[in-house]
Structure 1
């Protein structure tokens, strides 16, 4: 159980971003995530932390700041909501909830590492906070399911529990709840990332004993009393994938719905998490289409070996991607000859070489000299640099054109 005393940084993040149970359109409007990121970047540039905004000189500092059209009066009005903050925190903690700001040491590192700017500024939760760092298998799927899909989901969850692998899901009816309840009934642990109604779920009879026993953690990036909202449901999908080591889509519609949207997003943006899909003769059309887009076929039954070991064997995420076996103090020859690439189709060369590129960019360097240093074609290096800039890992400088590690972006996730 976390200490109910909030860190000063977290208090300020709440003041800036939380709705405290009110309509978010009520003035002053809480900051959106993008707006908070602008404030966080400004704080870093000025060697400040969120808590510094409560100091006596904060008003004069904010009035001089350039914060992407965020009005100073709005920020000051948000920071003056101290009474609302006190009442809300007292209410939440009396219900057993805890709150994490993105600067908290207990905030899940997986979210910051994988989502960076998209990691939520605030997480509300209940249960064992340590479960947020354990990874596991994300299981997602449709809300309306038949007995066959229900049985399959339950068997996967039970096999996960037997192998000591946690289940991460979204808590919605259908596949999500079936996976979470099955792993808990089998003695395993689970993390549920909810899109709404955290306070209600925290006292639900289905979850209460597992929360008390430290087997279940429920979290949400939305106000604990918020009702269902389709946009919020879509928005939290990336958190499910990001808190897991692997993901399984049990059933999905094609081209519509939250399951489809979340899986497509994960395949394109959360490369660290292999996405598997249930393949069978009568699998949903969406499953086949996700497979066509790069999802992997989930290992077939029976799972006599550890399910986690099977997923490790079946995934194409090479260890060299996460910890590339490349020395940063030597030159590398990354030939992109088509024949060579056919021999190593599972390696994402960009992810493998990115740490090497970053190690050369502590001081600005142009594309040509960087390509020469690493002995690769200049056009290939330009493609990698463009991708790194798009991901926020590298910053492009003009006059003359050069590239350098984006230190602000690297620190931003900690605020």
Structure 2
């Protein structure tokens, strides 16, 4: 699926994007991430959207935004309409799409895990829906020997056979080997690029796979941007955020992007389990990551063994220092409350959550939970309740929350579905879906089938 360019995204591009269309393009005083974050909060507080900054009442709104950004500066940035039109034309001829945090197509994982620190804009090529599939993140060094390349390709191939996407950074060496192994085995790949999206999108080798939905390339940086060490470091967290589990094949120690990204996951963000290669030539970098809490890769040889990797729960973590949150966050009550964006809990006038309303939301329109959109009456627990406060909500036993989950699963399992499909339908991680499915199997409400592995409702009456 290729998303359309929304009016909100166009406004955000004017405010934050360099709009590179040639070597001579000058970059004005763009809003930095923190500045745009303050502006987005203010717009939300006054019930406006970015698109309203160029609407019929723009002057009044711009004046109201002065506490966040100077009015004259906003006008200069918003006056780049002609440059934006040139950039859009260039991107469209290359099948490059652009989405922002204000769009429904924006990756749920980024919103959930980074909150306001999620990139304001994402550029990409290929099926944007692939960004919601999760999968195995595979990362490592650029300069490696042929044996490690072959090993990494075999990991990518196994992930493809298991129906798991590979997420990597597109750099030469380990990244490209994992992606190539998956693609050659007919699997899906998401490449999170730090530079040169336009060049990669036009690569003849990639073109058919991009058009066929087998490959998606995405970047928070302008499609024409060149390599920058800082950008490469920053995008590493995005790779982990799109995945359900991760494997570090090779790493230096105390230096390099692979090391920095893995340590950040282990010590701060903790989005997914971090595995390290456990066979072949020993590596001081990998041994150091083990000491920091990484897990030894179990070297699965078949699909069933690989699925055990994804059953490993994400590390428990408090709210990350810069706003990040794991998709699975602690005990059952936290999980049930936090990772159910499709079972949005309505707030009553007294401020308590109406669980009965949450269970019946299938009959209500789904609210727009983007932080750039106007406020709505019904709000998702994922956007209205901080995870640290979930256990303090009164009158919401975990069993009541699970009742809503049970009802949702009853409906979607009228026909057999794989665990990953259930996770996608509920918009939760695969490990969370597996936990719920195992519980319902134990209760005798659903059954697990083999060849292929799937789940289906035993009897509707059992749920009533």
Q: What TM-score do the two structures reach when normalised by structure 2?
A: 0.68
Q: How far did residue 207 of structure 1 move? A: 1.4
Aligned to 1:123: 122
Q: Distance in 2 between matches of 1:325 and 1:204?
A: 47
Please, which of 317, 323, 332 is the counterpart of residue 324 of structure 1? 332
Distance 2:185 2:280 in 1: 29
- Deviations for 1:1-42, whole angstroms, at most 9, x for unmatched residues? 4254x2111111111111111799946311111111111000
Q: Distance in 2 between matches of 1:63 and 1:353?
A: 35
Output one character per residue of 1:107-166: Cα deviation in whole Å (capped at 9) or x when no partner.
110011011122111111111111010000000000001122112111111111111110
Is 1:15 matched with 2:49? Answer: no
Distance 2:145 2:30 in 1: 42
Residues 73 and 292 (structure 1 numbering): CA distance in 2 closer, same or farther, change over 3 Å? same
CA separation of 1:80 and 1:316: change in aligned 2, threshold 3 A = closer
Deviation at 1:219, TM superposition (A): 0.7
Q: Where does residue 312 of structure 1 map in the other structure?
A: 310
Q: Give the direction of change, closer, same or farther, for the CA distance of 1:160–1:281 in structure 2 (3 Å limit).
A: closer
Displacement, 1:316? 5.7
Aligned to 2:205: 206
CA distance in 1, matches of 2:168, 2:112: 19
Across the two proteins, how many residue pairs are aligned to each other?
A: 337
Q: CA deviation at 1:246?
A: 0.6
The 1:96/1:65 distance shift into structure 2, 3 A limit, reads closer
Measure how far apart 1:311 and its partner are.
Answer: 0.5
1:136 partnered with 2:98:
no
CA distance in 1, matches of 2:333, 2:33: 36
1:112-261 aligned at under 5 Å gives the runs 112-261=111-260
Q: C-alpha distance in 2, partners of 1:268/1:24?
A: 42
Provide the C-alpha distance between the structure 2 equivalents of 1:228 and 1:282, rounded to a whole number of angstroms. 30
State which of 388, 412, 422 in structure 2 corresponds to 1:354: 388
Structure 2 stretches lacking a partner, 5+ long: 317-326, 338-351, 353-385, 396-464
2:109 alignment counterpart = 110
Q: Deviations over 1:301-320 (max 9, x none)?
A: 5x234244220344465897
Question: Counterpart of 1:391?
Answer: none
Q: CA 1:237–1:116 in 2, change beyond 3 Å: closer, same or farther?
A: same
The 8 Å contact of residues 158 and 302 in structure 2, kept in 1 or not, is answered as no
**Structure 2 counterpart SS, 1:279:** coil
- Paired residue secondary structure (1:206): helix
Structure 2: distance between partners of 1:185 and 1:174: 16
Structure 1 residues 159 and 44, CA, compared in 2 at 3 Å: closer, same or farther?
A: same
Superposed CA deviations along residues 242-271 of structure 1, whole A, max 9, x for unmatched, are 000111110000010110111111223332
Q: Secondary structure at the match of 2:240?
A: helix
Whether 1:294 aligns to 2:302 is no
Residue 204 of structure 2: SS of its match in structure 1?
A: coil
Aligned pair in 2 of structure 1 residues 60, 320: CA closer, same or farther (>3 Å)? closer
1:14-53 to 2 correspondences below 5 Å:
14-21=13-20, 26=26, 28-53=28-53
TM-score, normalization: structure 1? Answer: 0.75
- Is the 2:270–2:314 contact (alpha carbons within 8 Å) kept by the matching residues of 1? no
Question: Does residue 279 of structure 1 match 2:278?
Answer: yes
Matched residue, 1:269: 268
Q: Is the 8 A contact 1:157 1:167 kept in 2?
A: yes
**Unmatched runs of 5 consecutive residues or more in structure 1:** 330-351, 362-415
Structure 2: how far apart are the matches of 1:259 and 1:112? Answer: 23
